[in-house]
Amino acid sequence: MVTFQFIPFQEIENLGSAKRVNKLLNIVKENKIVLMEGRLKKQEEADLIEITMEEISPKFKGIELSVVYPNKSKQDFGQKVKGTFANLLLGDRQGMTIIGPASVVKRIEQNPNKIELFTKEAKTPPAKRYRKKK
Amino acid sequence: MGFFKDLLSKLKFNPFARKSHVKLGLYGPPNGGKSTLANRICQDWLGEEMSTVSHIAHETREIKIKEQVNIKNKKGKELTFSLVDTPGIATRIDYEDFLKRGMKKKQAKERAKEATKGVIDSIKWLDEMECVVVVLDSTQDPYSQVNITIIGNLQARNIPVLIVANKVDLKKSNIDVIKAAFPQYEVVGVSAKYGKNVEDFYEMLFKVAK
């Protein structure tokens, strides 16, 4: 079973960078996949990788990370103007960030048109055999 | 004009001067060919190698620096670099991956531990760089968040970036995908291993680092 946890941007909006990163990482360490509204700042993304590395252990093997953001290079002039206003109003609230534990998420493939999240095959325990009672 | 130049140089800010010494970082994900490119540069201009290379990821686990690498372009202009070879940046490190490569458990755990420190060092050193070559494996998907995060952080710090699409000698190599992924940057395809197209790389480096 894979668990997703949605984090609205307002939940992290007023947190400092370190608290934001730690909040997200703590959820991921509970083996949940974070779907966060918006995106982290560039420096915070680097901090997330840095703190992840500090936390790596035989039990926690790291994260898979992907940020979905409107592709500005493919927008026409009107869309770019709208996008600039949206950016002014919403800031980092635009887009979506996906962070999953490496033990659950094998990889996230991102190309301009789609995002594919590959999970590791769950190791299900072998079915129990029951003996008929005589 | 001369008065202003003198004044600006006294103030240690001179937009008319060319940089003569640049701290050049080689960044990218593991196994992209950073150390192979570092060795190629050092072989070409110093006649010696800089780093060990391996097919197993995270061979470079600490920052390596080669001072005074003088590079000349076709016009005879010269640039001196401090070449910084960095450990590959990754978001996951699993010692079991090294076990699969034939390492013993203790050795694999040690390598994983060193690799995590290497990633941290690479990120910390970003602020020290004056110019960065991002080395990507052109046979791999460039739309990975690690690549986007590295380049985004360099952009945020206003550090000039040149993207090297390495391993063009391989059949699966696709430079166009890298160009499409990062259209705002100069991309040059090379084979660091065989020295293919490195002349173009040096020319491009002059253009970006000046």
Tens digits of residue pLDDT in A25-76:
999 999 999 999 999 999 999 999 999 999 999 889 999 999 987 665 566 6
Contact A96/B at CB under 8 A = no
B12: pLDDT strictly greater than 50: no
We report the CATH number of the domain holding residue A101 as 3.30.950
pLDDT at A92: 74
Tokens 């993207």 appear where?
Answer: B163
B185: pLDDT strictly greater than 50: yes
Split into its structural domains, chain A has a count of 1
In this structure, the dihedral spanned by the alpha carbons of residues B24, B28, B32 and B36, taken in order and rounded to 10 degrees, is 20
Q: Is residue A134 part of a domain?
A: no
> How do strand B186-189 and strand B161-166 relate by DSSP bridges?
parallel
Quote the domain boundaries for residue B122.
18-209
Residue B204, classified by CB atoms within 10 Å of its CB into exposed (0-12), middle (13-18) or buried (19+), is: buried
Q: Is residue A130 part of a domain?
A: no
CA atoms within 13 A on the CB side of A49: 32
Q: Is residue B7 part of a domain?
A: no
Quote the domain boundaries for residue A10.
3-119
How far are the Cα atoms of A45, B63, B145, B176 from residue A42, in angstroms, in the given order?
5, 22, 11, 25
The CA distance from B102 to B108, in Å, is 9
Tell me the nearest-neighbour CA distance from A132 into chain B, angstroms.
42
Q: Is residue A124 part of a domain?
A: no
pLDDT band, residue B102 (cuts 50/70/90)? confident
The CA distance from B1 to B95, in Å, is 61
pLDDT at B33: 95
Which residues of B, range 142-171, sit inside 8 Å of A by Cβ?
143-146, 148-149, 152-153, 155-156
* Chain B residues touching A65 at Cβ < 8 A: 91, 145-146, 149
How far are the Cα atoms of B3, B138, B182 from residue B176, in angstroms, in the given order?
48, 9, 10
Split into its structural domains, chain B has a count of 1
Q: Is residue B3 part of a domain?
A: no
List, for residues B104-146, the tens digit of each pLDDT value.
999 999 999 999 999 999 999 999 999 999 999 999 999 899 9
How far are the Cα atoms of A34, A41, A49, B40 from residue A26, in angstroms, in the given order?
10, 18, 13, 42
* ipTM surpasses 0.95: no
Share of chain A above pLDDT 70, in %: 72
